[in-house]
Amino acid sequence: LAAPTHDDDGLEVRPYGRASLRLMSDTELSAIDGFEVSHPGRGTLRWPGRTDVRSVVDSLSSIIKFRPQGVSVYEDGGKPAPGEGLNKQCVYVMENVWVRDRSTGDFLTDVKSISAFKAQLLRKADKMGARMVEYDHNKGEWTIEVAHF
């Protein structure tokens, strides 16, 4: 497997970098196993199983927009039917999600605060129609799964 590479948009693509993907045949691109796009410091999108990336290889930065505390996929339209392209089951790991005191901004590490924050994240996931997989307060990572975008 090639090391993750990124163009100037900050996106890293795995298991093959974009340069490698651009050299692949349509047949190969139609079934990339474990396709992943990440933006260090913001998060990672991982599509389990095989993903057809033929229509997205050259337009990832316009389809996927990572922001601090969020990501959008197909925000600008052009979204394919559920199950096609990147509009399918996906696991999203959001980075830098920390429990903080609202008035001081200090990081909180006590069990009560972490438990209340996890409950808040669970409600947020439910409201988005996503399934909360986990919250790792040591890494500041919140993982959710969506059926499609």
Q: What is the Cα 120 distance to its own chain's centre?
A: 20
Distances (CA, A) of 57 to 18, 26, 84: 7, 11, 14
Instruction: Indicate if the pLDDT at residue 106 is higher than 70.
Output: yes
Spatial CA neighbour of 138 closest among 107, 92, 112, 116: 107
What is this structure's pTM?
0.90
Over residues 70-101, the pLDDT tens digits come to 999 999 888 999 999 999 999 999 999 999 99
User: How many CA atoms lie within 13 Å of 78's alpha carbon, on the beta-carbon side?
Assistant: 14
Instruction: Indicate if the pLDDT at residue 2 is higher than 50.
Output: no
pLDDT-derived band at 4 (thresholds 50, 70, 90) equals very low
- CB 85 within 8 Å of CB 56: yes
Query: What is the mean pLDDT of the segment spanning 10-27?
Result: 95
Q: What is the Cα 66 distance to its own chain's centre?
A: 8
